[in-house]
Amino acid sequence: MTRRISGFTPSGILHLGNYLGAIRPIVDGTGHTDTVVFISDLHALTLDHDPALVRERTLEFATLLLAAGADPDRHLFLVQSHVPEHAELHYLLECTTGYGEAQRMIQFKEKSRRQEQIRMSLLTYPILMAADILLYDADEVPVGDDQSQHVELARDVAYRFNTRYGQTFTVPRAVHPPVGARIMDLATPTTKMSKSASSVAGSLRLADDPDTLRRKVMRAVTDDGRDVVYDPDRRPGVANLLDILAGCTGTDPVDLATGFDSYGQLKRAVADAVVETLGPLRKRYLELSDDPAHVRGVLRTGAARAREIAQRKVRTAKQAIGLLPA
């Protein structure tokens, strides 16, 4: 069975694009895909952060993922920092990665330009991401275009380690979600909906109540003209609404465009679809939020299961690279 791994960094607020592009495929793949689902809290430390907020969002992300259908009985479900082998393998992989490889990462270049003080972890976190992937012998890593370069680094590091020290890691490949990656900010439809960068008005957050979701959709930026056509280049606002409707209903946005005579009619249909899609998730989220001890228990159990796998992989890697067994 193919093994996939999906990580969620608690540095923002989960939204509809995350659900359609990353979370729902986890649930849909249950039964024919062996999936590792983890909250990558260590990655949230690469930039300036509020420690209390990282802890709060880590629990919130875990609760939302469970509410969305992540099944701890069928998925390996954990918090990254609860499994110390992630950090241990990170160091071993640093010993097989060149400085130039890390420095060439596009996200490092972009994020470092916005920082007065650049943390070393911002440079090396793609190697930690490689450790996250290789620790569990993942075959596939669902990512957007902005993370493809990091998966390529994981592939290069795995291949190099295997070549130098013996077959140790599965060489992963990136897979791209068919929807979700296209969901744009409602207020700025030329910009991708983001966990951290989107405005409150531009992001359809998973825990938003139905009235808030409807209000955001009805206020979404559209385009000049009146006819509803799917043209992402010239009509990005309308195209985004059609992409959202298509993602929620499993239909084609081009076909959907022919069914509407006005922007208002389209917005009402989108609002209905979003509320129908996220309503059950929010209801379950509120139930789970009332019992954080249960969620923490799920995470402890997941970490214990993950460590059984991770410890074996780290032992193999340490022996291969030349360390003396304890």
Beta strand extents in 66-185 (DSSP E only): 76-79, 140-142, 173-175
Catalytic residue among 192, 216, 267, 313: 192
Q: For Cα atoms 140, 304, 76, give the angle at the middle one, nearest 5 degrees.
A: 25
Tell me if residue 111 is catalytic: yes
DSSP letter at 10?
Answer: S
Whether the CB-CB separation of 79 and 42 falls below 8 Å is answered with no
Give the integer Cα–Cα distance in Å for 21 and 25. Answer: 7
Cβ neighbours of residue 100 under 8 Å, at least 6 residues apart? none
Give the integer Cα–Cα distance in Å for 178 and 186. Answer: 20
Is residue 3 classed as helix, strand or coil in its secondary structure? strand
Tell me if residue 195 is catalytic: yes
Tell me if residue 192 is catalytic: yes
Catalytic residue among 109, 111, 216, 313: 111
Give the integer Cα–Cα distance in Å for 272 and 245. Answer: 9
What's the alpha-carbon Rg for the chain, to the nearest Å? Answer: 21
| CB neighbour class for 211 (10 Å; exposed up to 12, middle 13-18, buried from 19) | exposed
- The first and second tokens of residue 68, run together, are 């969305």
The CA-atom distances, in angstroms, between 134 and each of 100, 158, 175 are 21, 7, 16
Give the integer Cα–Cα distance in Å for 188 and 226. Answer: 19
- The first and second tokens of residue 86, run together, are 């992630």
Catalytic residue among 195, 216, 267, 313: 195
> Mind telling me the catalytic residues?
111, 192, 195
